[in-house]
Amino acid sequence: MQYQKHLRWMYSAIFINQILQIYLN
């Protein structure tokens, strides 16, 4: 369960990162 939670957080971070990239570019 802990591993799944960590994986979900990583996906969220990548998703936010992509949105920031779009806004900056």
8 Rama sector, left if φ>0, alpha if ψ -120 to 50, beta otherwise: alpha
pLDDT in 10s for each residue of the chain, 25 residues: 677 888 999 999 999 999 999 999 8
CA distance 2 to 5: 5
Going from N- to C-terminal start, the domains of the chain cover 1-25
pLDDT of amino acid 21: 98
- Rg (alpha carbons) of the chain, rounded to whole number: 11
DSSP secondary structure letters along 1-25: -HHHHHHHHHHHHHHHHHHHHHHH-
pLDDT of amino acid 5: 83
